[in-house]
């Protein structure tokens, strides 16, 4: 807990001082005419690229990651998924090679943990990084995801830093978090892809991706605190639910202000900003900065359109 508190204070201090950085080393994003005009996008500073704190949190930032989705995000690439919400090994193994990651859906489905475990065991390292949206961030839920071999978790409806801490605290081993040294198939799935001489335990923390979803106005208002939690890597807007909970249409300037606010907070904390809806992937001033989406074009479709 001391490590968490110390790093949280560091993140908040860096975030607070970022706006005072010299103006000559920045890139300004013009959102004029997109939002209401009451909220502006904070500039991107040359020495603080997107996701710098994610990389800084790694034991070995130069490590070659078998979590290829995380590697792409750290390289500034956009990633898209297919979604699996029912038990279908054939569908998973045939679709996954053409996507950046698989969004296994357990918040809005009746999928069981053993079914998800069986699917990823059927074709490990198939291409798409396996990431599981859990119903909540309870210790039991996160530990099961870790034991089955997930390389990422997505936690819905995170409203404050306490909930964000719960999302991150069981996803990595000590001393930086509280992942239990349980059994499960995870080590067996990923050990074959490790460099010679390295153990799964040594690589697991760096290869983990923790995504928290902000879906309420309360979450937007607490976005900087949420994003600054050590171990949170990606802050994703749940666009449909944010519209539902706020009462604002997704194409309204007021809704876009909420997006800009969350984008600003995520950048200040040095994390990666994302939107669930692929509507944000193009046709707006922030499209290039939102790096992770639910669904979207496959790898081959994007290559064909280049």
- Give the residue numbers marked as catalytic: 108
**Kind of pairing between the strands at 129-133 and 81-84:** unpaired
The full length of the chain comes to: 306
**Spatial strand order in the sheet of 272-275:** 81-84, 101-105, 129-133, 152-155, 209-214, 234-237, 272-275
Query: Can the peptide bond before residue 70 be classed as cis, meaning omega within 30 degrees of 0?
Result: no
Who contacts 295 (Cβ-Cβ below 8 Å, separation ≥6)? Answer: 80, 81, 82, 83, 103, 278
* 113-138: burial string, b at 16+ Cβ within 10 Å, e else: bebbbebbeebeebbbbbbbbbeebe
Rounded Cα–Cα distance for residues 119 and 84 (Å):
10
**CB-side neighbour CA atoms (13 Å) of 80:** 16
Who contacts 70 (Cβ-Cβ below 8 Å, separation ≥6)? Answer: 129, 151, 152, 207, 208, 209, 233
Rounded Cα–Cα distance for residues 16 and 21 (Å):
10
Who contacts 67 (Cβ-Cβ below 8 Å, separation ≥6)? Answer: 129, 151, 152, 207, 208, 209
Q: Which residues pair with 129 in a beta bridge?
A: 101
Closest CA to 280 of 254, 250, 306: 250
Closest CA to 145 of 93, 105, 99: 105
């Amino acid at each position: 807990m001391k490590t968490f508190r110390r790093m949280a204070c560091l993140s908040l201090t860096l975030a607070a001082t970022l706006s005072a950085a010299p103006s000559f080393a920045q890139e300004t994003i013009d959102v004029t005419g997109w939002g209401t005009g009451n909220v502006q996008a904070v500039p991107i500073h040359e020495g603080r690229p997107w996701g710098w704190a994610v990389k800084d949190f790694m034991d070995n930032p130069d490590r070659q990651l078998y979590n290829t989705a995380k590697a792409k995000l750290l390289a500034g690439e956009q990633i898209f998924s297919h979604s699996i919400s029912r038990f279908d090994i054939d569908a998973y193994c045939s679709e996954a090679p053409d996507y950046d990651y698989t969004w296994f859906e357990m918040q809005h489905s009746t999928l069981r943990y053993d079914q998800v475990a069986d699917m990823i065991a059927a074709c490990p390292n198939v291409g798409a990084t396996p990431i599981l949206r859990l119903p909540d961030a309870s210790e039991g839920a996160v530990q099961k995801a870790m034991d089955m071999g997930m390389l990422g978790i997505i936690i819905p409806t995170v409203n404050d830093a306490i909930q964000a801490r719960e999302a991150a605290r069981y996803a990595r081993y000590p001393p930086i978090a509280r992942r239990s040294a349980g059994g499960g198939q995870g080590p067996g799935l990923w050990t074959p892809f490790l460099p010679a001489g390295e153990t799964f335990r040594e690589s697991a923390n760096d290869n983990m991706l923790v995504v928290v979803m902000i879906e309420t106005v309360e979450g937007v208002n607490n976005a900087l605190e949420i994003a600054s939690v050590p171990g949170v890597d990606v802050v994703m807007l749940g666009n449909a639910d944010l519209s539902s909970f706020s009462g604002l249409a997704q194409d309204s300037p007021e809704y876009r202000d909420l997006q800009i606010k969350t984008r600003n907070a995520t950048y200040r904390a040095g994390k990666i900003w994302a939107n669930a809806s692929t509507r944000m992937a193009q046709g707006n001033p922030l499209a290039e900065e939102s790096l992770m989406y639910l669904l979207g074009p496959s790898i081959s479709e994007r290559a064909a359109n280049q």
